[in-house]
Amino acid sequence: ICRGDERLAERVGDFARKAGLSAKEAQMEALLGLLSEVASTACGSQPISEADSAEAAVDTNICCWSTGKLYTEAMLGVGVSREKRNLATAAELLSKEAFDGGLRQNTNKSAFEYFLPVWINEAHAAGSKKWRETLLKSCSQIGRWVYEVEDD
């Protein structure tokens, strides 16, 4: 259950003893069964083995609508438009490359001004310094131009 983490196993054992479960075989088995189920899930509902294989498999549906580049090939985000002090997005995935190349219309021809990177997975987003820098720059730019924020 604890996947070799001796400290965690010790904590579970201490809890079971303090709660009086270690002397009650049926309750102890129920606790261990529950902990086993909790430990076997990732992302809320997928067993870890499925989550790992899902992460390793590339979903070809997650791509830029303009260039067709996958999230493994390009930074993906969405175009963001403003109407006075409100923000809107069509939520269509767009590569930063297409945005930097001048693309400023969604598939329905509605215009947008800003690029906001989206979180696809750890490797695509938080694991990427470029993604973090782009997110910060985009939020700062939107804050300055839409909400007239002076400080970063």
* pLDDT tens digit sequence for 98-137: 999 999 999 999 999 999 999 998 888 877 899 999 999 9
Domain that holds residue 25: 6-56
Q: What pTM does this model have?
A: 0.61
Is pLDDT above 90 for 17? no
Are residue 97 and residue 40 in the same domain, yes or no? no
Give helix 6-18 / helix 25-39 axis angle, nearest 10°.
140
Whether residue 130 sits in one domain with residue 80: yes
Longest dimension (CA), the chain: 69
pLDDT at 75 over 70: yes
Residue 87 DSSP symbol: E
| Same domain as 43, residue 86 | no
**23 within a domain of the structure (yes/no):** yes
Residues 81 and 143 in one domain: yes
| Confidence at 42, pLDDT banded by 50, 70, 90 | very low
| Domain co-membership, 85 together with 137 | yes
